[in-house]
């Protein structure tokens, strides 16, 4: 086995629908992608059974991406909101099980874009709450054979978990079998003093990666030190997915949330295909 190269459906769609599934799964599989991250913004956006049939037909591995919009918080929120968020994450686990995905990834803690100042004591309390409130979700994931891959975001998208060190602290009390870490090169470029060292530190809980340029565009067309990342991935014998995740500026809601104000490539298809070519060449330099 070796690491697989994937792509996230946010490159083209928000929200993903059944029509989108029928269009994009055959297309990206035909190009040679080995994994597809299926974005789930709300329950019912797309049919998990249809997705299961399509990924099997086209021979591509699925993962599920859990979206965390305003009002979806598992800490620093009302009991009702926390319960609704837990139920959504459990739903993502159910969808993953139907689709045949082993990973549910995303910034599963507070809503993307929610920022506020935290004292050291407040952070300590929130970390305790996080472990307590995520445990039922972690247990459901464990029962389903699914891993929650939690993602750190940059300082403009959250004030709770920005670095690998913070994320490792947050998930440490949770079962290693069902809760891991998703490492994103875009966020790491902003927040980590040494991104490759952060990736190495993440290794014991590393379950998935998202790989984009420093401007959230095509991987390889950037200043990221891919050789340093490759050295780490070779050393740890990484065998998970490495998926391109970016966003189309045509979708006003998601583009605004992700601060996408310009075209990052000639087209979403061009970004995906050029990224795939680079990632194949890069992987060949370190994967056995």
Question: 253 pLDDT exceeds 80?
Answer: no
28-66 tens-digit pLDDT:
999 999 999 999 999 999 999 999 999 999 999 999 999
CB 43: neighbour CB atoms within 10 A?
11
Q: Mean pLDDT over residues 198-208, rounded?
A: 98
Give the H/E segment covering residue 58: helix 48-58
Name every residue whose Cβ is closer than 8 Å to that of residue 134 and which is 6 or more positions away in sequence: 74, 108, 148, 174, 179
* Band of residue 264 on the pLDDT scale cut at 50, 70, 90: confident
Question: 248 pLDDT exceeds 90?
Answer: no
Name every residue whose Cβ is closer than 8 Å to that of residue 21 and which is 6 or more positions away in sequence: 38, 46, 47, 50, 51, 54
Q: Does domain 4-284 have CATH number 3.20.20.150?
A: yes
- Which two structure tokens, joined as six digits, stand for 261? 């104000």
* Sequence spans of domains, the chain: 4-284
The whole-model pTM stands at 0.96
């Amino acid at each position: 086995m070796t690491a697989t190269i994937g792509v996230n459906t946010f490159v083209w769609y928000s929200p993903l629908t059944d029509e989108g599934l029928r269009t994009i799964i055959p297309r990206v599989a035909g190009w040679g992608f080995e994994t597809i991250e299926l974005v789930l913004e709300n329950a019912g956006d797309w049919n998990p059974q249809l997705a299961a049939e399509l990924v099997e037909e086209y021979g591509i591995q699925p993962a599920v991406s859990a979206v965390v919009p305003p009002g979806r918080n598992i800490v620093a929120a009302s009991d009702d909101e926390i319960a609704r968020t837990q139920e959504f994450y459990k739903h993502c686990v159910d969808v993953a099980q139907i689709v045949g995905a082993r990973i549910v990834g995303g910034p599963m803690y507070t809503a993307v874009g929610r920022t506020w100042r935290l004292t050291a004591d407040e952070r300590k309390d929130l970390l305790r709450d996080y472990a307590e409130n995520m445990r039922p979700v972690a247990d459901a994931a464990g029962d389903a054979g699914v891993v929650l891959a939690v993602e750190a975001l940059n300082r403009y998208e959250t004030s709770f978990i920005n670095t690998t060190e913070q994320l490792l602290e947050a998930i440490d009390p949770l079962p290693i079998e069902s809760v891991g870490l998703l490492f994103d090169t875009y966020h790491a470029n902003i927040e980590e003093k040494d991104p490759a060292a952060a990736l190495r530190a993440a290794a014991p809980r590393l379950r998935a990666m998202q790989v984009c340029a420093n401007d959230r565009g095509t991987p390889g067309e950037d200043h990221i030190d891919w050789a340093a990342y490759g050295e780490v991935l070779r050393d740890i014998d990484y065998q998970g997915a490495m998926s391109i995740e970016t966003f189309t500026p045509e979708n006003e809601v998601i583009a605004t949330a992700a601060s996408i104000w310009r075209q990052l490539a000639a087209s979403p298809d061009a970004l995906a295909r050029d990224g795939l070519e680079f990632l194949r060449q890069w992987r060949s330099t370190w994967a056995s």
